Amino acid sequence: MTDLLATDFIAYLRNKNPAVVSVDAKNVRVKVIRDTKFDIQDRGPEIKPPVGTGSASYNNPQSKEITVIDYEDFLNVQPDEVIKRLGLKKPDFIVFDAPTKSCFIINELSQGNPNNKRTTAIQQMHNAILHFDRVSGIKLFIGQFATKSCVFSCRRKAITTPEGMADAFMTIDNYLPEPIELRFQPIQKLGYMLIETTEINM
């Protein structure tokens, strides 16, 4: 997928705007993970921070080989004016298990109140898969996977208050049902599920 992004996707973008900057696949920020449990985090020095500290947690009981591509970082190479003219949005990560091809995920991460960020997250993920669907090589690659999902992961930050007054509210959050299946027809039309969860099963 990194090669497809660096070649086919960049060619697709350059066809729309000659100012698009070339990208070497070797410079695409990517992490291959086989841990049975791991977290991912954007805007950090490491894609995979210590378990329990990221914005999304992945359960991988079969130790599948999971590839995590920093899609936002990949697009950040492009000048702001190019991004704006092409109407590109930047969801955080592309996640998939290459050997078994059981699932392909676009994962947008956030922290805080999900109600304030859900709409923007959905638009970002839809934008990515819409462009991917227009690039034949990428569409063919993604089409090999058994399931395709857009996942919005928004982990609430712990609130510190005098004498632990907010603890009860944080405890309630821990027991809210996950995952939540959302509806957004343009995403479903492209063959993806739309899910909100901070716990992702591979």
Angstrom distance (rounded) from CA 98 to CA 96: 6
Tokens standing for 163?
A: 């004498």
Q: What is the pLDDT of residues 105-149, one digit of tens each?
A: 999 999 889 998 999 999 999 999 999 999 999 999 999 999 999
Specify the pairing of strand 180-181 against strand 193-196: antiparallel
3-class state of residue 67 by DSSP: strand
Could you tell me which residues come within 8 angstroms of residue 2 by beta carbon, excluding any fewer than 6 positions away? 25, 28, 30, 69
| Residues 148 and 132 sit within 8 Å (Cβ to Cβ) | no
The answer to whether residues 21 and 78 touch, using CB atoms and an 8 Å cutoff, is yes
Residues 35-83 pLDDT 10s: 999 999 998 899 999 999 999 999 999 999 999 999 999 999 999 999 9
CA 129 vs CA 94, 160, 198: distances in Å: 10, 38, 21
Question: Where exactly are the structural domains of the chain?
Answer: 2-201
CA 27, chain centre distance (Å)? 19
Q: 39 exposed, middle or buried (CB, 10 Å; 0-12, 13-18, 19+)?
A: buried
What burial class does residue 171 get, using C-beta atoms within 10 Å of its C-beta: 0-12 exposed, 13-18 middle, 19+ buried? exposed
Average pLDDT, the chain: 91
Residue 163 has pLDDT above 60, yes or no: yes
Q: Which residues lie below 8 Å from residue 9, measured CB to CB, with a gap of 6+?
A: 131, 132, 135, 138
Mean pLDDT of 90-102: 97
3-class SS at 146? Answer: coil
- The per-residue pLDDT for 44 is 85
Res 43: pLDDT: 84
